[in-house]
A and B are shown apart, each in its own frame.
Chain A
């Protein structure tokens, strides 16, 4: 078996173990907290008999390990329970809202990399310049970026729409992937595509800004570290040009730690999406997450967190594969051992 495939399977198994742990953790918190979930679900006006009936129906009167076992049995069948907030299966809600969030996070991740990497590379070459101070933008929380960008570009200059994913007058393309940009291309609808892009720009930028500081600082640190290596000194001795050394020799080794950190940045993107979606009225999973959290909708909270944790783990596996592709030492490590 190729080493890369073996490493991939190893990671998948480890991730599955962690996911089971996450489900236990969330289940434990949801069931151990003070307050009766059935009472919360039905509200203060329900009679004791109604509460008892719901407790029995949802197996809340049984021991917690049995409840967990039943929950997991349903989970394996793809059933995440029912949302009290939307009165629909949690699975249906998540399927509806998840693509919007993924589209936003993907766009933000691309922006973050496209801005953060070059700034980091440049500030490593011109140390002490303005690029060094840009790293401090990480001190501004995502919701402040969102509010500032919305105020300036949407309210004051009216360059971008204030909120939403699509102008109400436009008919959304038939759902294939749930990504509006992809679906509109598939439907051959240019107007919808550009309208969706227009709506996506500000939220994606707000989300990216919160991470650009960290990305550029880590790229810078990694580049500085690489520049101290003997092979760069040798390249200098050979008389290669500065830009060739930067592009050909320093950038690629410096990329490995940066990619690893990008994996962690995804956690920040997933978390900050809650804030950005709420400012821009973006109809995504995070928006849904805030609503169900505020409504104490237990099954929906557990389901949303499980999906987000899964997305995070998958993203990290993808990042690890990218690292292996960039770095031949990791790619072929298995052959030598």
Chain B
């Protein structure tokens, strides 16, 4: 299931309406996060100070999505929260994927003893429900965005180890691996130059979907107070703070919740579209 450079797969992708919706949502979120300073109507409201003359104001022409209890523009804070969320997701996946994939490749290719040891190690991490593991690690440290990232990375790599393990087990039987072994290629060469490139489409698809899920887990943690601390804008803690002023200041909860839905669903649809396009080719 190779995607890059395959025109049939790309045609399938461009003809899939839900994939295009996903792509649009993702593009909007990424652009907003990248150019937060330019796009946000009140960039300074990402900090602790807002407009004290307009506290807890509902949506209006001046403040499109309303203001919070100390008069900070909700739209600006959401845009900056997207920036933090995407940063977290990228850092988590950039660390968790190489670790997990390496463990999975080794586990799938090496002999039964090291394979057993590596995969039982993976099982230990998978035996703890993901959110519980991430929260308890943050609990041992101290609640902050950095520690949240470390904790989520620690719970995320085993899923890539599982994926790479299963892929490697299948690829190991292929002729090109046998050929490489026959000409005496080194194990690192076979793992990273022969097998890994053939696993990349599946790994990249999972990474796309996972961007949304990392953001979901991170916002769940900050909802409980285990993520970024005030005054940093964060999707989860904004929902938590807003829920205290329900139902009067409904916009404080409704819009951050909607923002989470948009980003998670965007990456979800995009990832599904990529997978279906890759499948369409096979």
Contact = CB atoms under 8 A, between A and B. Distances in A.
A285 B119 CA distance: 30
Contacts of B28: none
Contact of B247 (A24, A29, A151, A272): A151
Nearest to A313: B127
Interface residues of B, number: 44
Contacts of B225: 294
Contacts, number: 134
A104 interface: no
Contact of B120 (A18, A155, A304): A18
A5 interface: no
Given A21-B120, A298-B140, A312-B129, A156 B247 contact: yes
Interface in A126-181: 136, 138-144, 147-148, 150-151, 155-156
Contacts of A123: none
5 smallest A-B Cβ distances: which pairs? A271-B131, A293-B139, A21-B124, A267-B129, A139-B265
B249 to A, nearest CB: 12
Contacts of A271: 129-132, 220
A225 to B, nearest CB: 13
A155 B247 contact: yes
B257 interface: yes
A296 B140 contact: yes
A309 B136 CA distance: 12
B220 A25 contact: no
Contact of B137 (A29, A272, A308, A309): A29
A270 B136 CA distance: 13
Contacts of A138: 268
Nearest to A292: B139
B60 to A, nearest CB: 22
A76 interface: no
Given A139-B268, A147-B246, A29 B140 contact: yes
A268 interface: yes
The interface residues of chain B, by DSSP majority, are classed as helix
Contacts of B128: 22, 305, 308-309, 312
A141 B264 CA distance: 9
Interface residues of A, number: 50
B120 A139 contact: no
29 contacts: A21-B120, A22-B124, A29-B136, A30-B140, A33-B140, A33-B141, A140-B257, A140-B260, A140-B261, A141-B223, A144-B261, A147-B239, A147-B257, A151-B247, A151-B253, A266-B129, A270-B132, A271-B130, A271-B131, A271-B132, A274-B135, A275-B131, A275-B220, A293-B138, A296-B142, A305-B128, A308-B128, A308-B129, A313-B127
A17 interface: yes
A330 interface: no
A22 B127 contact: yes
